[in-house]
Amino acid sequence: MHVIVDSSPGTSPGPELVQLLTPEGERVEHPEYSIELSPQEYRGLYRDLVLVRRVDAEAVALQRQGELGIWASLLGQEAAQVGAGRAMGPNDYAFPTYREHGVAWCRDVDPLNLLGLFRGVNHGGWDPNEHNFHLYTIVIGAQTLHAVGYAMGMQRDGSGAAVLAFFGDGATSQGDVNEAFNFAGVYNAPVVFFCQNNQWAISEPLERQTRAPLYRRASGFGFPGVRVDGNDVLACLAVTREALDYAREGNGPILIEAFTYRMGAHTTSDDPSRYRLQSELEAWKLKDPIERYKRFLIKNSLADSDFFAEVDAESERLARHMRDGCRALPDPEPLSLFDHVYAEGHPLVDEERAQFAAYLSADVDATAERGEG
Protein backbone atom coordinates (compact mmCIF):
# COMPACT_ATOMS: atom_id res chain seq x y z
CA MET A 1 0.00 0.00 0.00
CA HIS A 2 1.34 3.39 -1.01
CA VAL A 3 1.93 5.65 2.01
CA ILE A 4 1.72 9.37 1.37
CA VAL A 5 3.75 11.75 3.45
CA ASP A 6 3.61 15.51 2.98
CA SER A 7 3.66 18.63 5.12
CA SER A 8 0.64 20.43 3.69
CA PRO A 9 -1.59 22.13 6.25
CA GLY A 10 -4.83 20.43 7.22
CA THR A 11 -7.06 22.74 5.18
CA SER A 12 -5.19 22.26 1.89
CA PRO A 13 -5.63 19.13 -0.22
CA GLY A 14 -1.87 19.05 -0.80
CA PRO A 15 0.09 17.95 -3.84
CA GLU A 16 -0.31 14.23 -3.14
CA LEU A 17 -4.10 14.16 -3.28
CA VAL A 18 -5.24 11.07 -5.16
CA GLN A 19 -7.41 12.24 -8.02
CA LEU A 20 -8.59 10.44 -11.17
CA LEU A 21 -11.10 13.05 -12.33
CA THR A 22 -10.49 16.79 -12.30
CA PRO A 23 -13.26 19.24 -11.33
CA GLU A 24 -13.61 19.90 -15.08
CA GLY A 25 -14.40 16.24 -15.71
CA GLU A 26 -11.05 15.36 -17.27
CA ARG A 27 -9.77 11.86 -16.64
CA VAL A 28 -6.23 11.87 -15.22
CA GLU A 29 -3.84 9.08 -14.29
CA HIS A 30 -2.26 8.44 -10.92
CA PRO A 31 0.93 6.40 -10.47
CA GLU A 32 -0.48 4.31 -7.62
CA TYR A 33 -4.19 4.04 -8.33
CA SER A 34 -6.21 3.29 -11.45
CA ILE A 35 -9.65 2.08 -12.36
CA GLU A 36 -11.33 0.72 -15.46
CA LEU A 37 -15.06 0.10 -15.54
CA SER A 38 -17.56 -1.01 -18.16
CA PRO A 39 -19.81 1.68 -19.69
CA GLN A 40 -22.71 0.28 -17.67
CA GLU A 41 -20.70 0.53 -14.44
CA TYR A 42 -19.71 4.11 -15.23
CA ARG A 43 -23.38 5.01 -15.79
CA GLY A 44 -24.35 3.16 -12.62
CA LEU A 45 -22.17 5.44 -10.52
CA TYR A 46 -23.89 8.49 -11.97
CA ARG A 47 -27.30 7.00 -11.20
CA ASP A 48 -26.15 6.39 -7.61
CA LEU A 49 -24.92 9.96 -7.21
CA VAL A 50 -28.11 11.53 -8.55
CA LEU A 51 -30.49 9.32 -6.60
CA VAL A 52 -28.57 9.70 -3.36
CA ARG A 53 -28.68 13.48 -3.73
CA ARG A 54 -32.44 13.25 -4.35
CA VAL A 55 -32.90 11.16 -1.22
CA ASP A 56 -31.12 13.87 0.71
CA ALA A 57 -33.03 16.76 -0.84
CA GLU A 58 -36.36 15.06 -0.29
CA ALA A 59 -35.54 14.34 3.35
CA VAL A 60 -34.62 17.99 3.93
CA ALA A 61 -37.94 19.03 2.38
CA LEU A 62 -39.85 16.57 4.55
CA GLN A 63 -38.15 17.94 7.65
CA ARG A 64 -39.10 21.49 6.67
CA GLN A 65 -42.70 20.32 6.29
CA GLY A 66 -42.67 18.91 9.83
CA GLU A 67 -42.57 15.26 8.83
CA LEU A 68 -39.10 14.61 10.33
CA GLY A 69 -37.67 15.80 13.61
CA ILE A 70 -34.25 16.50 12.09
CA TRP A 71 -32.08 15.48 9.14
CA ALA A 72 -28.32 15.38 8.66
CA SER A 73 -27.64 16.29 5.03
CA LEU A 74 -24.85 14.74 2.96
CA LEU A 75 -24.97 17.41 0.25
CA GLY A 76 -21.54 17.55 -1.42
CA GLN A 77 -20.33 14.23 0.00
CA GLU A 78 -22.11 11.92 -2.46
CA ALA A 79 -18.97 10.86 -4.33
CA ALA A 80 -17.07 9.92 -1.18
CA GLN A 81 -19.93 7.76 0.06
CA VAL A 82 -20.88 6.14 -3.25
CA GLY A 83 -17.23 5.45 -4.10
CA ALA A 84 -16.60 3.83 -0.72
CA GLY A 85 -19.93 1.99 -0.65
CA ARG A 86 -19.48 0.50 -4.12
CA ALA A 87 -15.97 -0.65 -3.22
CA MET A 88 -17.30 -3.01 -0.58
CA GLY A 89 -17.52 -6.73 -1.17
CA PRO A 90 -20.63 -8.71 -0.24
CA ASN A 91 -19.13 -9.92 3.05
CA ASP A 92 -17.55 -6.63 4.12
CA TYR A 93 -19.31 -4.74 6.90
CA ALA A 94 -19.86 -1.00 7.33
CA PHE A 95 -20.25 1.03 10.51
CA PRO A 96 -21.79 4.45 9.71
CA THR A 97 -22.33 7.69 11.55
CA TYR A 98 -25.74 9.34 11.05
CA ARG A 99 -24.91 10.88 7.65
CA GLU A 100 -23.99 7.87 5.50
CA HIS A 101 -27.16 7.90 3.40
CA GLY A 102 -25.11 7.22 0.28
CA VAL A 103 -23.49 4.15 1.78
CA ALA A 104 -26.91 2.97 2.96
CA TRP A 105 -28.10 3.30 -0.64
CA CYS A 106 -25.20 1.21 -1.88
CA ARG A 107 -26.05 -1.46 0.71
CA ASP A 108 -29.68 -1.60 -0.51
CA VAL A 109 -31.22 -0.02 2.59
CA ASP A 110 -34.60 1.49 1.65
CA PRO A 111 -34.46 5.27 2.23
CA LEU A 112 -37.77 4.95 4.09
CA ASN A 113 -35.86 3.17 6.84
CA LEU A 114 -33.62 6.20 7.21
CA LEU A 115 -36.65 8.48 7.37
CA GLY A 116 -38.22 6.31 10.08
CA LEU A 117 -35.26 6.93 12.35
CA PHE A 118 -35.37 10.71 11.87
CA ARG A 119 -39.17 10.67 12.18
CA GLY A 120 -38.83 8.93 15.52
CA VAL A 121 -40.91 5.88 14.70
CA ASN A 122 -38.15 3.26 14.76
CA HIS A 123 -34.53 2.70 15.79
CA GLY A 124 -33.35 2.43 12.20
CA GLY A 125 -35.70 -0.14 10.83
CA TRP A 126 -33.27 -2.28 8.90
CA ASP A 127 -31.60 -5.56 9.81
CA PRO A 128 -27.86 -4.75 9.95
CA ASN A 129 -26.88 -8.32 9.18
CA GLU A 130 -29.11 -8.41 6.11
CA HIS A 131 -27.26 -5.48 4.55
CA ASN A 132 -23.89 -5.73 6.35
CA PHE A 133 -24.58 -2.13 7.28
CA HIS A 134 -24.84 -1.31 10.96
CA LEU A 135 -27.43 1.03 12.44
CA TYR A 136 -26.66 4.75 12.49
CA THR A 137 -24.59 5.92 15.45
CA ILE A 138 -25.33 9.34 16.91
CA VAL A 139 -22.54 9.38 19.50
CA ILE A 140 -19.60 10.97 17.68
CA GLY A 141 -16.85 8.48 16.92
CA ALA A 142 -18.28 5.60 18.99
CA GLN A 143 -18.84 3.43 15.93
CA THR A 144 -15.10 3.27 15.23
CA LEU A 145 -14.65 1.20 18.38
CA HIS A 146 -17.53 -1.04 17.36
CA ALA A 147 -15.95 -1.42 13.93
CA VAL A 148 -12.58 -2.45 15.33
CA GLY A 149 -14.15 -4.97 17.69
CA TYR A 150 -16.19 -6.42 14.84
CA ALA A 151 -13.12 -6.56 12.61
CA MET A 152 -11.16 -8.40 15.30
CA GLY A 153 -13.99 -10.92 15.52
CA MET A 154 -13.97 -11.40 11.75
CA GLN A 155 -10.21 -11.83 11.90
CA ARG A 156 -10.51 -14.59 14.49
CA ASP A 157 -13.33 -16.27 12.56
CA GLY A 158 -11.16 -16.29 9.44
CA SER A 159 -13.92 -14.65 7.41
CA GLY A 160 -11.56 -13.07 4.90
CA ALA A 161 -13.67 -9.91 4.85
CA ALA A 162 -12.96 -6.39 6.08
CA VAL A 163 -14.77 -3.61 7.96
CA LEU A 164 -15.28 -0.05 6.78
CA ALA A 165 -15.62 2.51 9.58
CA PHE A 166 -17.06 5.93 8.65
CA PHE A 167 -16.57 9.14 10.59
CA GLY A 168 -16.01 12.84 10.02
CA ASP A 169 -13.13 15.21 10.63
CA GLY A 170 -14.70 16.41 13.86
CA ALA A 171 -14.70 12.86 15.23
CA THR A 172 -10.91 12.65 14.92
CA SER A 173 -10.71 14.85 18.02
CA GLN A 174 -12.61 12.25 20.03
CA GLY A 175 -10.81 9.82 22.28
CA ASP A 176 -12.88 6.95 20.92
CA VAL A 177 -11.42 7.36 17.44
CA ASN A 178 -7.84 7.46 18.70
CA GLU A 179 -8.47 4.43 20.89
CA ALA A 180 -9.90 2.64 17.87
CA PHE A 181 -6.80 3.52 15.85
CA ASN A 182 -4.56 2.15 18.57
CA PHE A 183 -6.46 -1.12 19.03
CA ALA A 184 -6.66 -1.66 15.28
CA GLY A 185 -2.94 -1.08 14.89
CA VAL A 186 -1.89 -3.26 17.81
CA TYR A 187 -4.18 -6.16 16.80
CA ASN A 188 -3.68 -5.75 13.05
CA ALA A 189 -7.45 -5.59 12.63
CA PRO A 190 -8.84 -5.75 9.06
CA VAL A 191 -10.51 -2.36 9.19
CA VAL A 192 -10.48 0.60 6.82
CA PHE A 193 -11.05 3.91 8.58
CA PHE A 194 -12.87 6.21 6.15
CA CYS A 195 -12.78 9.83 7.32
CA GLN A 196 -14.89 12.29 5.35
CA ASN A 197 -13.10 15.55 5.92
CA ASN A 198 -15.90 17.97 5.01
CA GLN A 199 -13.94 20.89 6.52
CA TRP A 200 -16.40 21.66 9.32
CA ALA A 201 -17.15 20.06 12.70
CA ILE A 202 -20.56 21.70 12.97
CA SER A 203 -19.32 25.35 13.16
CA GLU A 204 -15.65 24.59 13.91
CA PRO A 205 -13.38 24.88 10.85
CA LEU A 206 -10.71 22.29 10.23
CA GLU A 207 -7.78 24.61 10.99
CA ARG A 208 -9.03 24.81 14.58
CA GLN A 209 -9.21 21.03 14.86
CA THR A 210 -5.78 19.92 13.70
CA ARG A 211 -2.37 21.26 12.69
CA ALA A 212 -1.56 18.39 10.33
CA PRO A 213 -3.35 16.54 7.52
CA LEU A 214 -5.70 14.01 9.02
CA TYR A 215 -4.44 11.04 7.02
CA ARG A 216 -1.03 11.49 8.66
CA ARG A 217 -2.57 10.54 12.02
CA ALA A 218 -2.28 6.92 10.89
CA SER A 219 1.52 6.90 10.97
CA GLY A 220 1.48 7.61 14.70
CA PHE A 221 -0.48 4.40 15.22
CA GLY A 222 1.70 2.33 12.91
CA PHE A 223 -0.44 1.96 9.80
CA PRO A 224 -0.73 3.71 6.42
CA GLY A 225 -2.82 6.70 5.50
CA VAL A 226 -3.89 8.17 2.19
CA ARG A 227 -5.72 11.32 1.14
CA VAL A 228 -8.17 11.13 -1.75
CA ASP A 229 -10.27 13.72 -3.56
CA GLY A 230 -13.61 13.10 -1.86
CA ASN A 231 -15.53 14.77 -4.69
CA ASP A 232 -14.07 12.33 -7.23
CA VAL A 233 -16.15 9.16 -7.22
CA LEU A 234 -13.65 7.23 -9.35
CA ALA A 235 -10.73 8.03 -7.05
CA CYS A 236 -12.77 7.17 -3.95
CA LEU A 237 -13.78 3.85 -5.50
CA ALA A 238 -10.21 2.98 -6.55
CA VAL A 239 -8.59 3.94 -3.24
CA THR A 240 -11.21 2.21 -1.09
CA ARG A 241 -11.06 -0.96 -3.19
CA GLU A 242 -7.32 -1.17 -2.73
CA ALA A 243 -7.57 -0.39 0.97
CA LEU A 244 -10.16 -3.12 1.53
CA ASP A 245 -7.97 -5.59 -0.37
CA TYR A 246 -5.06 -4.54 1.81
CA ALA A 247 -7.06 -5.18 4.98
CA ARG A 248 -8.53 -8.48 3.76
CA GLU A 249 -5.04 -9.78 2.93
CA GLY A 250 -4.05 -9.52 6.58
CA ASN A 251 -1.98 -6.34 6.40
CA GLY A 252 -3.95 -4.58 9.12
CA PRO A 253 -5.78 -1.25 9.20
CA ILE A 254 -5.49 1.77 6.93
CA LEU A 255 -6.86 5.31 7.11
CA ILE A 256 -8.47 7.05 4.13
CA GLU A 257 -9.08 10.79 4.35
CA ALA A 258 -11.66 11.78 1.73
CA PHE A 259 -11.08 15.50 1.21
CA THR A 260 -14.54 16.92 0.51
CA TYR A 261 -16.91 19.66 1.58
CA ARG A 262 -20.23 19.85 3.41
CA MET A 263 -22.21 22.09 1.06
CA GLY A 264 -25.29 22.03 3.27
CA ALA A 265 -25.87 22.65 6.95
CA HIS A 266 -24.59 20.30 9.65
CA THR A 267 -28.21 19.35 10.26
CA THR A 268 -31.55 21.01 9.59
CA SER A 269 -31.16 22.65 13.02
CA ASP A 270 -28.04 24.49 11.87
CA ASP A 271 -27.54 27.77 9.98
CA PRO A 272 -24.06 27.76 8.39
CA SER A 273 -24.45 31.33 7.12
CA ARG A 274 -23.69 32.43 10.70
CA TYR A 275 -20.14 31.05 10.67
CA ARG A 276 -18.84 30.49 7.13
CA LEU A 277 -18.37 32.69 4.10
CA GLN A 278 -20.61 32.38 1.07
CA SER A 279 -17.53 32.70 -1.13
CA GLU A 280 -16.15 29.48 0.33
CA LEU A 281 -19.34 27.62 -0.54
CA GLU A 282 -19.35 29.06 -4.06
CA ALA A 283 -15.76 27.92 -4.60
CA TRP A 284 -16.65 24.36 -3.63
CA LYS A 285 -19.74 24.35 -5.83
CA LEU A 286 -17.33 24.48 -8.77
CA LYS A 287 -16.02 21.10 -7.58
CA ASP A 288 -19.50 19.55 -7.35
CA PRO A 289 -19.06 15.76 -7.52
CA ILE A 290 -22.10 15.15 -9.73
CA GLU A 291 -21.47 17.89 -12.25
CA ARG A 292 -17.85 16.85 -12.77
CA TYR A 293 -18.87 13.23 -13.26
CA LYS A 294 -21.62 14.16 -15.71
CA ARG A 295 -19.10 16.15 -17.75
CA PHE A 296 -16.81 13.09 -17.78
CA LEU A 297 -19.61 10.84 -19.09
CA ILE A 298 -20.54 13.29 -21.83
CA LYS A 299 -16.97 13.98 -22.92
CA ASN A 300 -16.28 10.27 -23.26
CA SER A 301 -19.63 9.42 -24.92
CA LEU A 302 -20.50 7.06 -22.08
CA ALA A 303 -24.07 8.34 -21.71
CA ASP A 304 -26.61 10.14 -23.88
CA SER A 305 -29.58 12.39 -23.27
CA ASP A 306 -31.98 9.43 -23.00
CA PHE A 307 -29.94 8.03 -20.13
CA PHE A 308 -29.90 11.32 -18.23
CA ALA A 309 -33.65 11.74 -18.80
CA GLU A 310 -34.33 8.26 -17.43
CA VAL A 311 -32.25 8.95 -14.31
CA ASP A 312 -34.20 12.18 -13.78
CA ALA A 313 -37.48 10.29 -14.14
CA GLU A 314 -36.31 7.63 -11.70
CA SER A 315 -35.36 10.39 -9.29
CA GLU A 316 -38.94 11.71 -9.43
CA ARG A 317 -40.34 8.24 -8.75
CA LEU A 318 -37.99 7.81 -5.80
CA ALA A 319 -39.07 11.16 -4.36
CA ARG A 320 -42.75 10.17 -4.54
CA HIS A 321 -41.92 6.87 -2.86
CA MET A 322 -40.25 8.74 -0.04
CA ARG A 323 -42.98 11.37 0.42
CA ASP A 324 -45.87 8.90 0.38
CA GLY A 325 -44.02 6.27 2.38
CA CYS A 326 -42.85 8.68 5.06
CA ARG A 327 -46.33 10.01 5.79
CA ALA A 328 -47.67 6.45 5.94
CA LEU A 329 -45.10 5.20 8.45
CA PRO A 330 -47.07 3.93 11.45
CA ASP A 331 -46.45 5.17 14.94
CA PRO A 332 -44.91 2.38 17.01
CA GLU A 333 -46.49 0.73 20.03
CA PRO A 334 -45.00 2.60 23.02
CA LEU A 335 -43.72 -0.53 24.73
CA SER A 336 -41.83 -1.61 21.60
CA LEU A 337 -39.26 0.95 22.75
CA PHE A 338 -37.73 -1.80 24.87
CA ASP A 339 -37.95 -4.69 22.41
CA HIS A 340 -34.50 -4.61 20.80
CA VAL A 341 -32.28 -3.04 23.44
CA TYR A 342 -30.64 -6.43 24.03
CA ALA A 343 -30.79 -9.65 22.03
CA GLU A 344 -32.09 -11.39 25.16
CA GLY A 345 -33.84 -10.21 28.31
CA HIS A 346 -32.17 -7.87 30.78
CA PRO A 347 -33.38 -7.25 34.37
CA LEU A 348 -33.02 -3.47 34.22
CA VAL A 349 -34.79 -3.18 30.87
CA ASP A 350 -37.54 -5.53 32.10
CA GLU A 351 -38.03 -3.30 35.16
CA GLU A 352 -38.16 -0.15 33.05
CA ARG A 353 -40.67 -1.77 30.68
CA ALA A 354 -42.92 -2.69 33.62
CA GLN A 355 -42.74 0.84 35.04
CA PHE A 356 -43.58 2.38 31.69
CA ALA A 357 -46.48 -0.05 31.18
CA ALA A 358 -47.84 0.93 34.60
CA TYR A 359 -47.51 4.61 33.72
CA LEU A 360 -49.37 4.14 30.44
CA SER A 361 -52.11 2.16 32.18
CA ALA A 362 -52.52 4.85 34.86
CA ASP A 363 -52.71 7.53 32.21
CA VAL A 364 -55.45 5.61 30.41
CA ASP A 365 -57.41 5.22 33.66
CA ALA A 366 -57.07 8.94 34.45
CA THR A 367 -58.26 9.84 30.99
CA ALA A 368 -61.28 7.58 31.38
CA GLU A 369 -62.17 9.15 34.74
CA ARG A 370 -62.12 12.59 33.17
CA GLY A 371 -64.41 11.33 30.47
CA GLU A 372 -61.91 12.18 27.78
CA GLY A 373 -61.43 8.66 26.48
Query: What is the gyration radius of the CA atoms in the chain, in angstroms?
Result: 22
SS3 175: helix
The residue annotated as part of the active site, out of 217, 262, 292, 293, is 262
Residue 174 contacts residue 143 (beta carbons within 8 Å): no
The residue annotated as part of the active site, out of 43, 53, 266, 292, is 266
CB atoms within 10 A of CB 17: 21
Q: Tell me if residue 262 is catalytic.
A: yes
| DSSP per-residue letters across 342-353 | SSS--HHHHHHH
Dihedral-angle region of residue 204 (phi above 0 means left; psi in -120 to 50 means alpha; beta otherwise)? beta
Alpha helices, H only, the chain:
39-64, 78-87, 101-106, 111-119, 128-131, 142-157, 175-186, 217-220, 233-248, 278-285, 289-299, 305-328, 347-369
d(CA 37, CA 174): 38
SS3 170: helix
The residue annotated as part of the active site, out of 64, 208, 275, 340, is 275
Q: Tell me if residue 215 is catalytic.
A: no
Q: Tell me if residue 275 is catalytic.
A: yes
The residues carrying an active-site annotation are 262, 266, 275
